Amino acid sequence: EISGDTAALFETEGKNAYALISDGMGSGEEASMTSKTTGIFLSKLLSAGNKKHTVLKMLNNFIRSKNTECFSTVDLLEIDLLNGKACFIKSGAIASYVLRGDKIFRINSNTMPVGITKEINAEQVNFALENNDVIVMVSDGVGQSSQAMVRVSDILTYSWEDNLQKMADKILDSAVISNTRSDDISV
């Protein structure tokens, strides 16, 4: 089975850590190749020290130049390992979550996937990390509706376990059970 989702973790030389979920819009091999290209493109160019905005513009132009109807979401988390600052860069991605103590913050964006328009319209949300923060990123296979996003918040609020893998599995299992349409799922 071919997945249109790509997830990646990578670092620059001791300064920044990144987490990425990319979803190739569409299905099959073309969606898979587009999301994988997005993941490789971002990891290689950001790891080499290039600026986020420049890399996103280059990625947007590259995907547009393919002359296909396949685009890609970008849900990129950048963590500055030296000062504890973080930011989400979202282009067409669904909400991510920051758990801080007994509070949950949803990070939303109303942007389009890369490759659709000439100008990239990614949104950047900056925040300072605190000790014991937990960040949860999901693909749209988890959040197919507003009820699905409430379900994720409920799992994070009422079913919390300190084992992060078990939490990811709970979110994934819940999405599989309640999804009304087939979609790739990444947590």
pTM, rounded to two decimals: 0.90
Helix axes 52-65, 28-47, angle to 10 degrees: 150
Q: Are 138 and 88 in contact (CB under 8 A)?
A: no
Structure tokens at 141: 């296979």
137 in Cβ contact with 21 (< 8 Å): yes
Distance CA 176, CA 48 (A): 37
pLDDT in tens, 106-135: 998 899 999 999 999 899 999 999 999 999
Q: Are 74 and 91 in contact (CB under 8 A)?
A: yes
Enumerate residue ranges in the chain where pLDDT < 70: 1, 144-145, 179-182
